[in-house]
Structure 1
Amino acid sequence: MLCLLLSACNNTEAPQKLALPTPTVVISQPLVQNIVEWDEYTGRLQAVEAVDIRARVSGYLKQIGFKDGGKVKKGDLLFVVDPRPYLAQLHQGKAELDRAQSRLELAQNDVLRAERLLKEQAISEEEYDTRSKNSSQASAAVEAAKATLEMAQLNVDFTQIRAPIHGRISRKLITEGNLVNADATVLATIVSDNPIHVYVDADERSVLKYRRLGLEGKRQSARDVQIPVEMALMDEQAYPHKGYIDYVDPQVNPATGTVRARGVFENPDDLLSPGLFARVRIPGSGQYQAVLINDRAIGMDQGQQFVMVVTPDNRAEYRAINTGRLHDGLRIVTSGLTGQEWVITTGLQFVRPGFAVVATRAPMQAAPAKVAGAAQ
C-alpha cells in the first residue's frame, strides 16, 4: 500500500507558474501650448454707487412714488414732503422782493432829484450823500430779497425727493404721515446695478511677484493699465464673466498684509448683485510655452511625482517630473517632459517600469471643471 502511495506521488506533475497578462493602457501625448497662468482669489461684489436717500427739508411725508425693491432712474420722484409751509415762505419771499424793488425805485428817483437840486445849490452835499446811500441800501435790500426768494424756491423744490442715480431701490424705511428731519432721516437706499465692482485682496507674496514680473517686462501692472479679470459666482463653472481691474490700493494694509484691488464687470442681465460671493482670477504670469497633462497620469512615489512613458518598443519607462498649477483642467509640467512623449493616462496602477504594455492612443483630455474650489 505504501509503495502505491509513493508511486502516485512521484507521478504528480509540479504546478506551473501562471504568466501575468500584459496590461492594457491608454496613452496620450502632452499638450504643448502658449499659456498665461491665472491666480485665483475670492471676493465680494459691491455696487459702484450707493446712496442713502434723505430729505433736505423737514416736514411730514405726504407721498411715496416707488415700488419697494424696484428699479428707478435718475430723476424719478421718490418721496414728497408736505410743501405747503414752504410755498407760503415762497409767496412771502416774492412779496418781500416786490417791496424791496419798490423802495429801490423810490430811492433812485430821490437820487435823480437830488442831483438836479444840488446843481441848483438847493440842497446840501450832505443831503445828496444821504439820498445816494439810501439808494445803495435799497439796491442791497433787493439782492437780499432775491437770495431769500431763491432759498424759498429751493426749499419748495426739495420737498420733492428724486432719485440721484440709476439703480435698484430698497424698501421704504418710513411711511406716509411721519415726520422727516432734514439731512437726518434715511428714507431708502439706492444701489447702482450696472456696472458692478468686485473687491479682492492679494497677499504680499503675490503682489511682489506681480511687481517683479512687471519690472522684467513679462506682465503689465494693474497700477498702470487695465488688466483683464475673470469672475465666477458660487454655482458657476469656469469663469464666464469678463471684466478689467481699474484700481489697486497704493499701500499694503498692515493689519492683513494684503493689497485690495477692484474689478469692473458689466451687468446687463441683472444677474450680479452687491454682496454676492465671487471667485476671481487675474493673469499671474506672462505668456510662455507649457507642457500640460491630465492629473490621472501623475503618480506619487515617496513624495516624488512621476509619470510612466511608453517607449517605441511598448515598454513602460519611469519619468520623474515636477508640476505647477492647473490650467484649463490640465496640470502644468515644469520639468521632466518635453511634450513628445506618450504618457500613460489610464491604467497607471497596473504598470511597472520595464514591463511590456498594450497601448491605445488617445488625445489628452482635461479633467472636468469643479464648481468651486480654492486656487490650485
Structure 2
Amino acid sequence: MRTNRLALPLSSLVVALLAACGQQQGGPGGHAGGPPPVSVAPATQRVIQEFDEFTARLEAPDTVDVRSRVAGTIEAVRFTEGEFVRKGQLLFTIDSRAFRAEVARAEAQVAALKTQAELARADLGRSEKLVSVNAVSQQEVDQLRATLRSAEANQKAAEAALVQARLNVEYANVTAPVSGRTSRANVTPGNLVGVGDAVLTTLVSSDRVYAYFDASEATYLKYMRAAKPSTAVVQMGLSNEQGYPHAGKLDFVDNRLNPATASIRARAVFDNKSGQFTPGLYARVKLGGSDSYTGVVVPDRAITTDQTHKVILIVGANNIVQPRPVTPGALIDGMRVVDGVKPGELVIVDGLLRAFPGAPVTPQVLKVDDKGMPLPAAPAPAASK
C-alpha cells in the first residue's frame, strides 16, 4: 500500500515536468510562470480549384525548312536575318535566265504544234467531205484522224512543258511558305544550290505557341473520368516569371501511353501575337484538375505525423492542446486541403515543439490573408530601460 501511494502515473509526471520547465523559462521561448506560447491561425473555408503541375517545352506550330525547288546560283538574299516575314514574301532570288529561255523555247514549240494540229484538222475536214463521193478511201480518212489525234497530243505535251518552264521561273524566286520569324541565311549570294539539297533558312510561326508536356497514367485517368480534357484550364509561366500569368487551352492528347514511361503526351496552345514566347524554352504548366468545390484549408506546415497518421494540433477549450487526425488533400499556394477540421478552429502553426496533447498553451492568434495563409506576427515592442 505504501508503494502505491508514492507512485504517480507517467502522464501526470510528464505534465508536471513540462509545467515546471515552463515556469523556469522566462525568455522568448515561454512565459514566466505560464504555459508556453504558440502561434495559431483559424482554419479557413474557401472555394478550392485543384491543379496539376507539369514541366513543358515550347514549340512552334509551324517549323519549315526553306529549300530551293530549282537548281541555280543564288543572286540575292531578300530578307533580314531574324525578322518576321509574311507568307509569300520574297526570301531568295536564283538566276532565272536559263529558265526564261526555256519558257521562250516551250512557247515556240507550242505554237508550232498548234499549227500542225490545225493543219491536220483541216485535212481531215476535207477528206470527210470527199469520202461521201468516193473521192478518197476510208483508210485515208482514218489515217488523217490518227494524225490529228497525234498532233493534239503533242500540243498538250508542249503546253505541259511550257507550264513547267514557267513554274521554274516562279521557283527561282524563293518565297516564305508560312508567316513567321526567319533564322539566319545558310546560303549566301554566289553559291550554287541544287533541288532541295540545302536548307536556305528556317521559318517558325510566331502567332501561337504549343506547350508539350507528359502526364502520368493516374493523371490521364483522372481527366478521362472527368470527361473534359479538351476544356481543362491551362496556365503557364516561364522560368523567370512568378506564378502562372499566361492562360491557354488544352487542344491535343495523344492516342496512346508510352509504355516505357507510363505517361502520355499532351499539348496546350497559347497566344503569341506579342512574340514573347520563343520555341525551345522550358515552361511550367498548371492544369485544372477538378471542378471547384468548398473545402477547409490549413497551412501545410501545421500538419505533423503521428506514426502512420497525419495530425494537426488544435487549441481547444481552456487553451488545451487537442490532437486531431486529418486526411490531407491537395496543396494549393502553401495551404493544404484537410478533412476532419471545422472552419474557425484554432490550429497551431508555429511552436509545435512546445505544444503537447492535453497540456495548456498560451495561443497568439495570427491574422490571415485572403487565401487563409497566416501573416507574420508583429514584432514585440522593445523593453524600456
In structure 2, the residue matched to 1:308 is 313
CA offsets per residue over residues 91-116 of structure 1, 9 Å max, x none? 00100011011111111111122123
Aligned ranges for residues 1-376 of structure 1 at < 5 Å? 18=24, 19-211=32-224, 214=225, 219-222=226-229, 225-301=230-306, 304-333=309-338, 335-353=339-357, 354-363=359-368, 365-366=372-373
Displacement of 1:230 in angstroms is: 1.3
Q: Is the 8 A contact 2:210 2:270 kept in 1?
A: yes
In structure 1, the residue matched to 2:12 is none
Alpha-carbon distance in 2 for matches of 1:361, 1:259:
44
Q: Is the 8 A contact 1:243 1:265 kept in 2?
A: yes
Report sequence identity in percent: 37
Change (3 A) 1:114 1:367: farther
Q: Is the 8 A contact 1:170 1:190 kept in 2?
A: yes
Displacement of 1:296 in angstroms is: 3.9
In structure 2, the residue matched to 1:8 is none
Q: Is the 8 A contact 1:22 1:358 kept in 2?
A: no
Q: Is the 8 A contact 1:86 1:155 kept in 2?
A: yes
The aligned amino acid for 1:168 is R
In structure 1, the residue matched to 2:29 is none
Q: Is the 8 A contact 2:44 2:344 kept in 1?
A: no
The aligned amino acid for 1:363 is V
Alpha-carbon distance in 2 for matches of 1:313, 1:268:
61
- Please identify, of 170-179 and 341-350, the stretch whose mean Cα deviation from structure 2 is larger: 341-350
Q: Is the 8 A contact 1:295 1:367 kept in 2?
A: no
The aligned amino acid for 2:236 is M
Alpha-carbon distance in 2 for matches of 1:328, 1:192:
35
Displacement of 1:187 in angstroms is: 0.6
Alpha-carbon distance in 2 for matches of 1:121, 1:323:
108
Change (3 A) 1:268 1:23: farther
The aligned amino acid for 1:326 is L
Displacement of 1:142 in angstroms is: 1.5
The aligned amino acid for 2:228 is S
Alpha-carbon distance in 2 for matches of 1:93, 1:108:
22
Alpha-carbon distance in 2 for matches of 1:328, 1:44:
24
In structure 2, the residue matched to 1:14 is none
Alpha-carbon distance in 2 for matches of 1:356, 1:116:
125
Displacement of 1:20 in angstroms is: 3.2
Secondary structure, counterpart of 2:278 in structure 1: coil
In structure 1, the residue matched to 2:16 is none
Secondary structure, counterpart of 2:153 in structure 1: helix
Alpha-carbon distance in 2 for matches of 1:141, 1:238:
70
TM-score, length-normalised on structure 1?
0.84
Secondary structure, counterpart of 1:41 in structure 2: strand
Q: Is the 8 A contact 1:27 1:362 kept in 2?
A: no
Displacement of 1:188 in angstroms is: 0.8
Alpha-carbon distance in 2 for matches of 1:178, 1:265:
39
Alpha-carbon distance in 2 for matches of 1:167, 1:367:
48
Secondary structure, counterpart of 1:188 in structure 2: strand
Alpha-carbon distance in 2 for matches of 1:347, 1:356:
10
Q: Is the 8 A contact 2:311 2:325 kept in 1?
A: yes
Q: Is the 8 A contact 1:29 1:342 kept in 2?
A: yes
Change (3 A) 1:112 1:230: same
Unaligned runs of 5+ in 2: 1-22, 25-31, 376-385
The aligned amino acid for 2:275 is D
Displacement of 1:346 in angstroms is: 4.1
Q: Is the 8 A contact 2:86 2:176 kept in 1?
A: yes
TM-score, length-normalised on structure 2?
0.82
Displacement of 1:250 in angstroms is: 0.9
Unaligned runs of 5+ in 1: 1-16, 369-376
Displacement of 1:53 in angstroms is: 0.3
How many pairs does the alignment contain? 343
Alpha-carbon distance in 1 for matches of 2:305, 2:241:
31
Q: Is the 8 A contact 1:87 1:156 kept in 2?
A: yes
Secondary structure, counterpart of 1:196 in structure 2: strand
Alpha-carbon distance in 1 for matches of 2:112, 2:57:
61
Secondary structure, counterpart of 1:321 in structure 2: strand
